[in-house]
Amino acid sequence: MDLYEYQGKQLFRRFGIGVSDGRLATSPEEARAAAVDLGAQVVVKAQVLTGGRGKAGGVKLADSPADAEQRAREILGLDIRGHVVRKLWIEQASDIAKEYYLSITFDRGAKKPLFMFTTQGGVEIEEVAAESPEALVRLHVDPLEGFRPWVARRLVYGGGVEDPFEQKQIAEIIGQLYRAFVEFDAMLCEINPLIVTPAGEVKALDSKFTVDDSALPRHPDISEWRDTSAAHPIESFAREKGVTYVKLDGEVGILGNGAGLSMSTVDVVAHVGGRPANFCDLGGGGSAEGVVDALEVITRDPQVRSIFFNIFGGITRCDEVARGILEALDRLDMSRYPIVVRLDGTNAEEGRRLLTEAGKPNIDPEATMLDGARRAVELAKEAA
Ligand code: GDP
Ligand code: MN
């Protein structure tokens, strides 16, 4: 789960990392009030879950409350790479003498957290890595040993920070960021830029904070921040229903059991010239209730023209899935969808018999995955 800048900064503050005082605003009027409240010059910042907001016109300085209101008017509604700005963070503007970069991520290859630090901050870190790799200090932390002060010293000295007051502050921030990273089960904590003010004070001007989804149950306060409006509406509905679902852009709705089979089904549909409308995994159980839920999710997508069930029975019993399909047909109006069903494995014959006996005109059993995919694609084209 990606946190908004203002949420990440809230966590930074809890760990003692310096951030500017700010307010959230959702309208130009609120932005003006926030600027009045904060006094002095402010910066109006789009709150969207993507980087490079500055370049896209989503970060602007304002000299007065009226100016803040005007800037807010310009930024609200702006589309930044598909993310429409609905929220603004208004914060006290900082004077910048230097822009550094500091991050900690989880390096899966090394199975260790990885710190990166450079005094060439403010720009895209990929640029620094490509053009002056020697300026980027990388250092792993052994998770069993935990954080040690020498880690911070090596990053700071390695990065070439010379001012002792700066060295001390940055070393402290490195320790605080490590604690934030571990305590919040983060995958990424990034500060770009980490600035030094003309007075020599070091603080976080930006925040990127990603919490491991699997750890969210341990952080109810963070889960509450989950912004369902930012996610795709069908995907959030799927999450509510407990259905594993990813929206794609085609016409053939796909249901498989198990992630591997579902992904293969997506590939096979594409291979025979169709376009998958989604990826949906019924999971290992494949109970009737699960099938009804999944169909409810898939049929919310207006692009869906046909539906392809690809079930390989193992723990999942094909007769159970067949019952689920029939039950769904009783409960939901599925008459406009041709449904292709391929059942194989445990109780497949029983499943096929149930479907045939039900005599539903829109159910089309097929023997193999390839035939099923071809038929589903054909039916989607007919229905278009
Ligand atoms: P990003 O573009 O999404 O990474 O957004 P940032 O929060 O990093 O802001 C982009 C840039 O705006 C920064 O690199 C700064 O140069 C500038 N900026 C942001 N806040 C301030 C501020 O308080 N004062 C000044 N002078 N510049 C700022
Ligand atoms: Mn930034």
| pLDDT value of position 228 | 58
Ligand 1 pocket, Cβ-based, cut-off 6 angstroms? 43, 51-54, 59, 93-94, 96, 122, 192-193, 205-206
Neighbours of 85 (CB within 10 A): 22
Range with the largest mean pLDDT of 59-63, 125-129, 221-225, 363-367? 59-63
Backbone φ and ψ for 381, nearest 5 degrees, come out as -70, -40
What residue type is 17 in one-letter code? I
What are the structure tokens assigned to 323, written together?
Answer: 């019952």
Q: Which of 126, 192, 206, 207 to mutate to test the pocket of ligand 1 (most atoms within 8 A of CB)?
A: 206
pLDDT at 373 over 90: yes
Residue nearest to atom 9 of ligand 1 (CA): 54
pLDDT tens, position by position, 11-49: 999 999 999 999 999 999 999 999 999 998 999 999 999
Question: What is the token pair recorded at 155?
Answer: 């990053």
Confidence of residue 76 (pLDDT cuts 50, 70, 90): very high
Measured from the Cα of 53, ligand 1's closest atom is: 3
C-alpha of residue 205 to centroid of ligand 2, in Å: 7
| Structure confidence at residue 230 (pLDDT) | 60
Q: What span, in angstroms and rounded, lies between the C-alpha atoms of 291 and 257?
A: 10
Query: What pLDDT is attached to residue 288?
Result: 77
Tens digit of each residue's pLDDT (9 = 90 or more) over 113-148: 999 999 999 888 888 888 988 999 999 999 999 999
- How far apart are alpha carbons 52 and 311 in whole angstroms? 43
352 neighbors 365 (Cβ within 8 angstroms): yes
Structure-block tokens of residue 340: 């292709």
Q: Which atom of ligand 1 is nearest to the CA of 94?
A: 23
**Nearest CA residue ID for atom 6, ligand 1:** 206
Query: CB of 128 within 8 A of CB of 118?
Result: yes
| Ligand 2 is an ion; residues with CB less than 5 A from it | 192, 206
pLDDT score of 246 more than 70 = yes
Distance 20 CA to ligand 1 centre (A): 12
Query: What pLDDT does 122 receive?
Result: 83
Mean pLDDT across 367-375: 95
Asked about 190 being catalytic, the answer comes back as yes
Give pLDDT tens digits for 141-196: 999 999 999 999 999 999 999 999 999 999 999 999 999 999 999 999 999 999 99
Whether the Cβ atoms of residue 349 and residue 323 lie closer than 8 Å to each other: no
51 CA from centroid of ligand 2 (Å):
7
Mean pLDDT of the chain: 93
C-beta atoms surrounding 112 within 10 Å: 15
Ligand nearest to the CA of 50: 1
- What phi, psi does 137 have (nearest 5°)? -90, 125
List the structure tokens of 105: 């991520």
- Please, which residues have CB within 8 angstroms of residue 383's CB and are 6 or more apart in sequence? 251, 305, 306, 336, 338
Interatomic CA distance for residues 339 and 353, integer angstroms: 16
User: Looking at residues 215-233, what average pLDDT do you find?
Assistant: 81
Q: Annotated catalytic residue: which of 166, 190, 251, 320?
A: 190
Whole-Å CA distances, 296 to 93, 133, 193, 242, 317: 48, 50, 45, 12, 21
